[in-house]
Amino acid sequence: MTKGLFRLLLILLMCFATPAGLAQESRPNIVVFLVDDAALMDFGVYGGEAHTPNIDAIAARGTLFTQHRATPFCAPSRAMLLTGMDHHTAGLGTIREVLPTEHRGQPGYTMALEPGVITLAERLRGGGYRTYMTGKWHLGHEEGDLPIDQGFDRSFLVDASGADNWEDRPYLPYYREAPWFEGREPATLPQDFYSSTFIVDQMIDYLETDQALDEPFFAFVSFLAIHIPVQAPRAFTDRYVETYSVGWEVIREARWQRAQELGLIREGAPMAPPPATLDAWDWDTLSEEERALASRRMAVNAGMLEAMDHEIGRLIDHLRETGVYDNTIFVVTSDNGPEAGDPINGPVSNWLRWTGYNWDLETLGERGSYVAIGPEWAQAASGPSSFFKFHAGEGGLRVPLIMAGPQVPDEGRVEAFTVMADVAPTLLDLAGVAHEVPDTLPMTGRSFLSLLTGETESIYGPDDAIGLETSGQAALYRGQYKLVRNMPPHGDGVWRLYDVFADPGETRDLSDTHPQLMREMRHEYRLYANRVGVLELPEGYQVEQQIGLNIIERMLSFYWGWLLSGLVIIAAGLWALWRFIGWIIRHRGAIVSTEWLRSLSRTVRNRP
């Protein structure tokens, strides 16, 4: 069966499967805002310092989730969000930038959505929805991998882990260029490009173009904010310089206090200690210049969040003006916790300077500058939680989730456990579109519509085991307990057991006091890993080392022609030099004799 015929049958099947109680024209529109690398407490409504009035307003007229989990890596979380299934099953066992050679091309590690996997967009389009996507994709750009091939009618995207926010340029030497596409065609960016503005502009353009159509729409707005490089207009950044001048220790303590006040953690719950690997944790040991630069880094981060929120407000205003706002479901979430990577202080810094980047204090965050908040600010951003992105501590996994719109309670709050794969089946229920599609893999996520309606208090029972794993960073939740392994460089690879309800900071390891529970959860994790196809990591694997190796390999593939030409030129030069030296050696007698006689003659003629 051809792919086109399959899609036609899919549309017919899903149209007939639409529940009779939900007429085509009455079904809600859906807008998903996906933020990159935002911590649980980064939005104002969760206690963050950044001014995010539009996100906060969505929360005020909707429901706030406090126990939502993603994976600790971006593409795996995106695969879960868009497919409703475990990311290994979908084909994104990790991100391609850190993939070891041994895993390449293996089932679950093809780094693109695999056969039998269809997206939320595909399912919604089969149910009569228009589908659009703008922003970061990171789920493959080979033939058949782009959004236009995965259920989206229109798309403008960058298929990379990140890109510059001001210009059409890559942010790491892993990429030769920033791979922007419109539909299937490579695309260029406008001169006045700023990522958050452009991503919203493009979505508004798609909605306006198809405004006369009767079908409801699904809009996936996937921001680059606040991924490295952190960049923002100066007008937003300047508002936060003084806020962060107190240092990361003070900010983290303040977030811990606010987390208790907001009920994100229990009163008196201990705060996780920072990893021992954070050498600069003592703010007072920094020089005045170092503190100024560090403060400005985090100010740019907050400024980028506010700039993104401003653009969210523009899209909301457009939906109001076109009369569809009241019938639109909004989702706001993040793909993982805060980013601790710091290319500025690593070997990549030389490449950054060679390609024209700078990190001058006065222009930090503006065009041409490169900013990363680093591990100390990432730990502060995670508040009372342990670790950050690329780790399975709560700081890497526990992320914000907000929903609003038809069938979603105003000023609601859900404290039940949910994971990213649960979002897709929930949206299908809200849209009245069937979950099951013939000849495709089933979703593994569970709809939490019953949580929104108040019919149930939890979608997972106390004995349900929910596993998460990416590049060795692993966790398994069961009721109030969490089995976790955090790998180097900041973790030690040891399995530990925590009661994350009483101890969300993961400060008291229960492995010795609950040995039977520890054995049971280790067994359940192995069952999960076998079920979804988790591959064992090569001996000595570390994420940061692997990305370095992959960068070198990619750069060699980009420039092998130049390198080969250079080697040929050098070899030819050495060969010519060797021939010349040989000629001199063979004729040295004649050369010395002739030159000696000429020299003697000149000397005699010139004597007085």
pLDDT of residue 21: 33
Enumerate the β-bridge partners of residue 497. Answer: 483
* 138 assigned to active site: yes
Phi, psi for residue 600 in degrees, rounded to 5: -65, -40
What is the reported pLDDT for 12?
42
Q: Assign 599 a pLDDT band (cuts: 50, 70, 90).
A: low
Q: Measure the CA–CA gap between 85 and 83, rounded to whole angstroms.
A: 5
Over range 576-602, report the average pLDDT: 59
| H helix runs in 161-276, sequence order | 195-209, 234-237, 248-261
Distances (CA, A) of 521 to 210, 239, 515: 50, 47, 10
State the Cα–Cα distance between residues 524 and 66, nearest whole angstrom. 25
- Residue 19, pLDDT above cutoff 50: no
CATH 3.40.720.10 placement within the chain: 3-105+121-453
Distance CA 497, CA 106 (A): 31
CA 199 to chain centre: 16
Query: Residue type at 581?
Result: I
Catalytic, out of 51, 68, 103, 138? 138
pLDDT > 70? residue 431: yes
Q: Of 409, 401, 494, nearest to 449 (Cα)? A: 409
Residue-wise pLDDT tens digits, 33-90: 999 999 999 999 999 999 999 999 999 999 999 999 999 999 999 999 999 999 999 9
pLDDT at residue 544, rounded to an integer: 86
pLDDT at res. 16: 41
51, 74, 87, 310: which is the annotated catalytic residue? 74
146-177 pLDDT, tens digit per residue, is 999 999 999 999 999 999 999 999 999 999 99
Residue 511 contacts residue 483 (beta carbons within 8 Å): no
Give the pLDDT score at 23. Answer: 40
Query: Tens digit of pLDDT for each residue in 222-248?
Result: 999 999 999 999 999 999 999 999 999
Closest CA to 333 of 89, 52, 37: 37
The CATH label, of 3.40.720.10, 3.40.50.2300, 1.10.10.10, 3.40.50.720, for the domain at 3-105+121-453 is 3.40.720.10
Query: In the predicted model, what is the mean pLDDT of residues 307-313?
Result: 98
At 399, list the tokens.
């992320």
* pLDDT confidence of residue 594: 56
Tokens matching residue 129: 């929805």
What is d(CA 61, CA 405) in angstroms, rounded to the nearest whole number? 8
* 287 pLDDT more than 90: yes
Determine the Cα–Cα distance for residues 76 and 478; give it in Å rounded to an integer.
21
Between residues 547 and 89, which one has the greater pLDDT? 89
Closest to 426 (Cα-Cα) out of 63, 218, 120: 120
Burial-class residue 260 by CB neighbours within 10 Å (0-12, 13-18, 19+): middle
Condensed to tens digits (0 to 9), the pLDDT of residues 137-153 reads 999 888 999 999 999 99
Q: Is 523 a catalytic residue?
A: no
Question: Residue 346: its pLDDT value, please?
Answer: 85
What integer pLDDT is reported at residue 555 of this predicted model?
Answer: 86
Q: Across residues 526-542, what is the average pLDDT? A: 96
Read off the pTM: 0.89
- What would the pLDDT profile of 100-136 be if each residue is shown by its tens digit? 999 999 999 999 999 999 999 999 999 999 999 999 9
What's the mean per-residue pLDDT of the chain? 91
pLDDT surpassing 90 at residue 183:
yes
The alpha carbon dihedral of 414, 225, 358, 236 has a sign of negative
Strand, helix or coil at 499?
A: strand
> With pLDDT > 70 as the criterion, what percentage of the chain qualifies?
88
User: DSSP characters for 308-339?
Assistant: HHHHHHHHHHHHHHTT-GGGEEEEEEESSS--
